[in-house]
Amino acid sequence: MITYEIKLYKDGVLLATRSVAEGIEQYNFAAEIATAGPGSYTTTVQAKSDDNQAWRDGPVSELSDGKVVA
């Protein structure tokens, strides 16, 4: 089974990491952003392989475009 690791950054600093199952097309970080407050938020995504699979983890995506929360 493939999972995806989504990382949320605030002002370039890692704020949260979440794993989601294959087929999930979005993740809502609203609670984390509300708690952390104003700043510039970006994300990365990486496909993670199961230890039983014949492939390795995928590359980490480029940072998403920043979303400024005031």
11-70 pLDDT, tens digit each:
999 999 999 998 898 999 999 999 999 999 999 999 998 776 677 889 999 999 998 998
How many CB atoms are located within 10 Å of the residue 9 CB?
18
pTM: 0.87
64 touches 29 (CB < 8 A): no
Range of the domain at 24: 3-69
> What is the total count of domains within the chain?
1
Amino acid at 51: D
